[in-house]
Each structure stands twice: as C-alpha cells, then as structure tokens.
Amino acid sequence: MGYCRYHYGCVVWGAIALSGQSSEQSNEGVEIKQNIKGNPEATVTLVEYSDFQCPACAAFQPALDGIMQEYGDSFNLEYKHFPLSTIHPHALSAAIAAEAAGQQGKFFEFHDLLFANQQEWSSVAVPATFYVQYAEQIGLDIDQFKKQQNSSLLRDKVRADFSDGQELGLTGTPTFFLNGQRMQFDTYESFVGQIIYAVDPDSASSTPEAAAANSGVRFGL
C-alpha cells in the first residue's frame, strides 16, 4: 500500500505566482464550499485527506470510483486538502486550481483530471498551463478560473484543511475517516469492505473483508 509522508515543522507552502490582479478582485464572487459527492443526506460519511501530487492518492482513485459507482446513493465522500509541499512542490497550486474549478461547480471533474494526468503536470517547473488546459477540457469560464486561482480565500481554505489534518494527527496521504473514525487497513479490499459494511452490515456477510469479497467492486489497481 502506498503512502506519502511528511515531517512536521518542515512545511514550505511555496510561492504562488500572482498576476497583476488585486486580492480583492481575485476574491470577487468566491464562495467557500465543501467538496462532497454521493448522497449528502446519507448517514455514512467518508472523509478523505489527500494531495493531488501524491502517487498513492492517485492509486486510490479506481477503488473510490468503483465503490462510488456501486454504493454512491448510500454514503457521501468529502475531499479535504492535505498538500505535502515539502515533497510535492505543486500540491498547493493544484489544490487551489481545483478549488477555483469548484467555484464553477466542477471540483470533482477537475480533481479527476489532476489525478489522471498526475505525471504530466507534476513533472514540469510551472504547471499553470496544464491547469488551464484541464479547465478548458471541462468547459470552465477561463477568465474566471484564472482570476480565482489567485484568490486568497481559496488559498486559505486549502491551508485550513491542512491545519485540520495536523490537529487530527495526520502524517501522510491518503488518510480516510469513516463516520468520524480514522480508518486502518492494509489492502484495498479491506478499505472497500469497511465502507460496504458501514453502508449495509447485513450484506451477505458479517465482516468487512467478506463484504468486499462479495461486493463485485472492481479495483483496477
């Protein structure tokens, strides 16, 4: 199982290049939103702390997609940012770009493109051109997207998520909380099985592992 770690006290947020626009202009129209998909009224909640430049986080996406497709009406998934900037220099800018996409209702569409193309944008010195390409691909208003990428409010939201993760004792990504409890697992099957078991404890088995074995969810990893 992959996992990206960082050392406390060594977080360097890095410089985010600002355009000539003032902070006030970049914050115009910005609304702080939670990034949630699935059934918002479900009693089962999965919270993911993740880093867009983390290979382990990208590797988890097929498992998350599979369980969301099969059980998405029975739980909700909230994405929170935990950019490990000491080892992933573009993680913060990617998180802010995703939040800018979220201002136009397409956070998860942008999220999916960042993970699918992780090797592409994370290997260059300045990934901003790729962010714009992805924004165009999902039909965003590009002027608004570029402006809100410089929003101090969105940058502060990402940092607030990171601070929340620190307070919870996070040391790496991805980290998941199921109904408020930090998940512990050694395999993708165990991870998926715990979610299925929370959704339906009576689903053809009495343990999370058996629930995963009988779920039909395809991992593709």
User: What pLDDT, in 10s, does the model give residues 122-165?
Assistant: 999 999 999 999 999 999 999 999 999 999 999 999 999 999 99
Q: What is the mean pLDDT of residues 67-84?
A: 95
Does the residue 123 lie in any domain?
A: yes
Does the residue 8 lie in any domain?
A: no
The larger pLDDT score, comparing residue 94 to residue 8, is at 94
- Evaluate if residue 103 carries a pLDDT over 90: yes
Does the residue 23 lie in any domain?
A: no
For the chain, the domain total comes to 1
Does the residue 5 lie in any domain?
A: no
Q: Which two tokens stand for residue 220?
A: 């593709």
Q: Which two tokens stand for residue 106?
A: 């397409």
Does the residue 19 lie in any domain?
A: no
Does the residue 221 lie in any domain?
A: no
Identify the three-state secondary structure at position 125: coil
pLDDT digits (tens, 9 = 90+) for 172-207: 999 999 999 999 999 888 999 999 999 988 865 555
CB 196 within 8 A of CB 208: yes
CATH number at residue 140: 3.40.30.10
Does the residue 172 lie in any domain?
A: yes
For the CA atoms of 56, 58, 63, 68, what is the dihedral angle to 10 degrees? 130
Which of 53, 194, 22 is CA-nearest to residue 121?
53
In which domain, by residue range, is 132 found? 28-213
The pLDDT score that the predictor gives to residue 10 is 40
Percent of the chain with pLDDT over 70: 82
Does the residue 20 lie in any domain?
A: no
Lowest average pLDDT, out of 17-21, 133-137, 167-171, goes to 17-21
